């Protein structure tokens, strides 16, 4: 009877502290409550300790949670699960696995403790965080070993773990065996294929997916953008709008690089209007993406206007604007902006200096370029990368310092890439330096053996110098290797649709009309102009102003 009264007393005391812990959300109050718990000999209460660990987890106090956990001599599965959850939330995956091993090896005073369905989602997530698929398979086996029914939460965790470890075969097995699938299941599998560049399989799953969310659409847009399929990215974005799915700011950031690459300025302007209307311009990353889009679409003035209106700018904002000014030949403005960036005490990064060195190269500012190249390591402890050396070689080449440029290439701490040798070869034509051109060509032959453009450029250098035997050798070499020139390609945006034109491609439905106009232009420029205007008005493409 006394024992029964003792148990009832402990439960009554626990009930007294439960409301306090439910209202507690700050660590200072939690520590005061814990002091009272110790006073009433409740430090071994699994129920109260579990609640305390959850509060610590919410406040990011993982060390204190660990102290609470270790004070309990005989933790139950609920306290174990709370600690596993807290460690996983704080990315302490190895510690999570160690706690899981404690459960498996636990020998309690009464019956043994077994993991339950709340244990495994976080243990499996930790295996994925460690990219340890071998351990993940073992834990997968434990789910069946302990007779647990695979809930959708466990199955989604397994799916995510296999995807993170690039084990798509096992991911598909889990997916196919799922009795119930939710949007998380579909998105995980799609993300796995996108991660591996398997966009066809990802698209097939996406098209089959019964209920698409904004995350699903954005994942596809981002996937296409990352592999350079910019037209497909725009198609998915438009498809999202057609089904009535409103883009969020993440969707806009995903699609804007595609607009920039394709020169889809009108769509970019619409996105700017939409972002402004929905308050997304408060997001710095949205403004950064819009600035890059405007700059790459040739509207550097609009890029500057948006940059000037930004309430907050990060290093990406400054770097993007500097690069935009540099690419439009506004070198002095780019340098002035960099100086303003320094006055604002914004620390430049590697990308900042790529834009800055590019600006110096375009303007032929040799002294300034050399100064900024040295400043990278001397003032900012930034180790120059291949992109910075490429800008430096381009700057030296443009200003006629070919010997020094070659010396830089040979002394680089990394292997020069094709872009560096190509830049040097191009400068050799400008300054008629055949001997360095031959050296550059020898290296390009190793790096880009199938690039006809390099051979054509060297042939032109020979021709400029009147060395026709060299021209003949280059032509014979191209014919002997059966090399083909990469066809020219251009893009134009008409009525919010981007049309791509490739040299020699007659697949367009309006190709005959285009060739008819070109023939007319060759015959009679005036007549041709009239024909162009009439045809475009008939087609409804655009009207001449």
pLDDT band at 529 (very low <50, low <70, confident <90, very high): very low
Helix, strand, coil share of the chain (percent; to 5): 70, 0, 25
Asked whether residue 496 is domain-assigned, the answer is yes
Provide the residue range defining the domain that includes 526: 489-539
Determine contact, residues 79/46, Cβ cutoff 8 Å: yes
**How many whole angstroms separate alpha carbon 409 and alpha carbon 359?**
20
pLDDT for the residue numbered 44: 87
CA–centroid distance for 212 within its chain? 22
Asked whether residue 342 is domain-assigned, the answer is no
Q: Which residues contact 542 (CB under 8 A, 6 or more apart)?
A: 494, 495, 536
Asked whether residue 84 is domain-assigned, the answer is no
Asked whether residue 497 is domain-assigned, the answer is yes
| Tens digits of residue pLDDT in 189-247 | 999 999 999 999 999 999 999 999 999 999 999 999 999 999 999 999 999 999 999 99
Determine contact, residues 294/324, Cβ cutoff 8 Å: yes
User: Sign of dihedral through CA atoms 291, 294, 297, 299?
Assistant: negative
Determine contact, residues 317/311, Cβ cutoff 8 Å: no
Asked whether residue 187 is domain-assigned, the answer is no
Q: How high is the mean pLDDT of the chain? A: 85
**How many whole angstroms separate alpha carbon 365 and alpha carbon 395?**
8
**How many whole angstroms separate alpha carbon 252 and alpha carbon 271?**
7
| Tens digits of residue pLDDT in 1-40 | 334 444 446 666 777 777 777 778 788 888 888 888 888 8
**How many whole angstroms separate alpha carbon 47 and alpha carbon 138?**
30
| Helix, strand or coil, per DSSP, at residue 429 | helix
Asked whether residue 509 is domain-assigned, the answer is yes
Q: How many domains does the chain have?
A: 1
DSSP 8-class letter at 255: H
501 has which bridge partners? 490
Asked whether residue 498 is domain-assigned, the answer is yes
Asked whether residue 123 is domain-assigned, the answer is no
| Tens digits of residue pLDDT in 366-421 | 999 999 999 999 999 999 999 999 999 999 999 999 999 999 999 999 998 888 98
pLDDT for the residue numbered 435: 83
Rounded to 10°, the helix 386-398/418-431 angle is 0
pLDDT for the residue numbered 482: 53
């Amino acid at each position: 009877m006394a024992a029964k009264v003792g148990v009832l007393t402990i439960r009554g005391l626990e009930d007294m502290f439960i409301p306090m812990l439910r209202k507690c959300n700050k660590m200072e109050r939690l520590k005061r409550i814990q002091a009272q718990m110790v006073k009433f000999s409740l430090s071994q209460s699994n129920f109260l300790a579990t609640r305390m660990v959850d509060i610590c987890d919410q406040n990011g106090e993982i060390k204190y949670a660990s102290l609470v956990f270790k004070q309990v001599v005989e933790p139950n599965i609920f306290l174990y699960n709370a600690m596993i959850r807290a460690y996983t939330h704080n990315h302490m995956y190895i510690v999570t696995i160690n706690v899981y091993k404690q459960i498996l090896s636990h020998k309690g005073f009464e019956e043994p403790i077994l993991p339950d369905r709340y244990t495994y989602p976080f243990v499996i997530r930790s295996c994925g965080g460690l990219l340890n698929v071998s351990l993940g398979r073992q834990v997968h086996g434990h789910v069946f070993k302990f007779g647990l029914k695979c809930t959708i939460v466990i199955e989604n965790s397994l799916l995510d773990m296999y995807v993170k470890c690039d084990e798509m075969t096992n991911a598909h097995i889990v997916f196919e065996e799922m009795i119930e699938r939710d949007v998380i299941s579909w998105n995980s599998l799609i993300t796995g294929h996108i991660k591996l560049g398997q966009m066809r399989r990802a698209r097939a799953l996406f098209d089959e997916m019964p209920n698409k969310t904004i995350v699903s659409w954005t994942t596809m847009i981002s996937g296409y953008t990352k592999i350079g399929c910019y037209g497909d990215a725009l198609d998915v974005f438009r498809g999202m709008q057609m089904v009535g799915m409103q883009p969020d700011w993440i969707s806009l950031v995903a699609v804007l690089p595609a607009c920039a690459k394709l020169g889809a300025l009108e769509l970019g302007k619409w996105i700017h209007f939409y972002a402004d209307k929905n308050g997304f311009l408060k997001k710095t990353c949205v403004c950064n993406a819009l600035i890059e889009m405007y700059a790459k679409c040739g509207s550097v003035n609009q890029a500057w206007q948006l940059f000037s209106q930004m309430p907050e700018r990060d290093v990406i904002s400054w770097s993007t604007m500097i690069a935009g000014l540099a690419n439009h030949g506004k070198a002095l403005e780019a340098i002035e902006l960099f100086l303003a960036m320094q006055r604002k005490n914004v620390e430049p990064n590697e990308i900042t200096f790529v834009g800055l060195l590019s600006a110096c190269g375009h303007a032929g500012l040799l002294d300034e370029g050399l100064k900024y190249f040295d400043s990278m390591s001397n003032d900012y402890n930034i180790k120059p990368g291949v992109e910075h050396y490429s800008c430096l070689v381009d700057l030296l080449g443009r200003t006629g310092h070919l010997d020094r440029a070659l010396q830089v290439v040979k002394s680089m701490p990394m292997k020069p890439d094709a872009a560096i040798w190509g830049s040097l070869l191009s400068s050799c034509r400008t300054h008629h330096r055949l001997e360095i051109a031959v050296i550059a060509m020898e290296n390009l032959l190793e790096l880009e053996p199938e690039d006809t453009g390099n051979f054509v450029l060297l042939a032109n250098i020979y021709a400029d110098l009147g060395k026709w035997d060299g021209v003949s050798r280059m032509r014979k070499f191209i014919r002997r290797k059966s090399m083909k020139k990469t066809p020219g390609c251009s893009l134009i945006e008409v009525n919010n649709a981007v049309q791509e034109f490739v040299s020699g491609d007659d697949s367009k439905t309006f190709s005959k009309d285009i060739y008819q106009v070109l023939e007319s232009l060759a015959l009679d420029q005036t007549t041709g102009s009239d024909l162009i205007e009439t045809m475009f008005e008939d087609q409804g493409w655009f009207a001449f102003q």
